[in-house]
């Protein structure tokens, strides 16, 4: 095994370990401070190794924004953001979805395919703004999944310790829309920067990406408007969030890109 193999193994190990510890903590009747320390320590180790792996993005003076590097960067931003916010609010439960996804990503990690972008500060800035907006909206999509799970279990009267440990539906709903508002602002800035700095934004090569990004933006704006004027919440809000994020995900990564993962 080379050094990169040990690094990838460490990332997978600590993400899985953290996810297991987090599940045990949330599902337990008696919660100890030691469990929190172990969870956050393993989480910190996971994102530290993850950060080291991101050095592969830099190729000489250029940036290698391949499919896996882009996914890895988004995963790192998601994981880091949730860990940081967990020190100020109850958001650890989001890790139950984000942590396993990051672990699975590195199981299929492939650094052979490269997509090198020239050292253009404006283009790189646009890409970073896009990935940050996707990451924030990715947290929103994760929150929407958690909200759907809790609401369905409450409706079926099958309430587990895990469900009881989650914030109330009102808190989940409020946090969801706070995240969505921030994500839409960032996505708007990303689209504007693309219109300004990318000469080929409406070219045949990336036209579908532009159309899908604008479509996703419209879905999120519709959802925020529905919340403001009609009080949309619950399953409707969660479903629209997931639809919007799926469209946005496809706009950047594209269905064809998944061939790189499995073949």
What digits encode the pLDDT tens for the residues 56-103? 776 555 666 677 778 888 899 999 999 999 898 888 999 999 999 999
Tell me, yes or no, whether 43 and 19 share the same domain.
yes
Verify that 211 and 262 share a domain, yes or no: yes
pLDDT at 1 over 70: no
For residues 101 and 169, membership in a common domain is answered with: no
Q: Judge if 260 and 133 occupy the same domain.
A: yes
* pTM of this prediction exceeds 0.75: yes
| One domain, residues 34 and 7 | yes
**Is 68 inside a domain boundary?**
yes
The tokens for 201 are 């934004």
Who wins on pLDDT, 243 or 258? 243
| Same-domain pairing of 54 and 10 | yes
SS3 193: helix
Q: Do residue 138 and residue 225 come from a single domain? A: yes
Higher-pLDDT residue of 179, 206: 179
Within a domain: 113 = no
Distance, CA of 166 to CA of 94 (rounded, Å): 10
Q: Are 98 and 142 in contact (CB under 8 A)?
A: yes
Residue 86's domain spans which residues? 1-108
104 and 163 share a domain? no
Mean pLDDT of the chain: 82
pLDDT tens digits along 219-251 = 999 999 999 998 898 889 999 999 999 998 888
Q: Which of 55, 84, 108 is the last residue of a domain?
A: 108
pLDDT band at 160 (very low <50, low <70, confident <90, very high): confident
- Give the number of domains in the chain: 2
Check residues 262 and 159 and name the one with the higher pLDDT.
Answer: 159
Residues 68 and 149 in one domain: no
Q: Are residues 240 and 159 in the same domain?
A: yes
């Amino acid at each position: 095994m080379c050094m990169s193999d040990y690094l990838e193994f460490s990332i997978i190990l600590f993400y899985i370990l953290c996810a297991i510890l987090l599940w045990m903590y949330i599902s337990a009747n008696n919660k100890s401070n030691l469990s929190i320390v172990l969870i956050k320590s393993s989480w910190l180790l996971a994102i530290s190794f993850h950060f080291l792996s991101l050095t592969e993005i830099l190729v000489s003076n250029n940036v290698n924004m391949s499919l896996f590097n882009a996914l890895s960067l988004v995963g790192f931003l998601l994981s880091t953001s949730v860990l940081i916010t967990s020190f100020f609010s109850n958001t650890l439960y989001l890790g139950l979805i984000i942590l396993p996804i990051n672990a699975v990503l590195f199981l299929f990690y492939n650094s052979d395919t490269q997509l090198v972008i020239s050292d253009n500060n404006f283009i790189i800035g646009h890409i970073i703004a896009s990935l940050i907006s996707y990451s924030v909206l990715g947290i929103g999509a994760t929150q929407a999944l958690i909200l759907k799970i809790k609401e369905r279990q409450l409706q079926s009267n099958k309430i587990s310790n895990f469900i009881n440990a989650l914030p109330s539906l009102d808190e989940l709903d409020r946090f969801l829309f706070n995240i969505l508002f921030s994500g839409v602002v960032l996505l708007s800035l990303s689209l504007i920067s693309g219109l300004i700095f990318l000469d080929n934004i409406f070219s045949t090569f990336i036209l579908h990406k532009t159309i899908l990004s604008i479509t996703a933006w419209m879905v999120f704006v519709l959802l925020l408007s529905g919340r403001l004027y009609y009080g949309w919440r619950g399953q409707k809000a969660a479903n629209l969030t997931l639809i919007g994020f799926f469209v946005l995900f496809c706009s950047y990564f594209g269905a064809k890109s998944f061939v790189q993962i499995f073949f």
